[in-house]
Amino acid sequence: MRNLKRLLLGLFLVVVVLGVLVFVLENQQLVSLVFLGGALPQYPVSVFVLAALLVGLAIGPVLSLIVAKRPSR
pLDDT tens digit sequence for 22-57: 988 888 889 888 888 888 899 898 888 888 888 998
Question: What is the residue-wise DSSP string for 1-69?
Answer: -HHHHHHHHHHHHHHHHHHHHHHHHH---EE--EETTEEPPPEEHHHHHHHHHHHHHHHHHHHHHHHHH
Q: For the whole model, what pTM was predicted?
A: 0.62
What are the sequence ranges of the domains in the chain?
Answer: 2-69
According to DSSP, residue 70 is labeled S
**Quick one: angle between helices 2-26 and 45-69, nearest 10?**
130
Size of the chain in residues: 73
pLDDT tens digit sequence for 8-22: 999 999 999 999 889
Point out which residues pair with 34 in neighbouring strands.
39
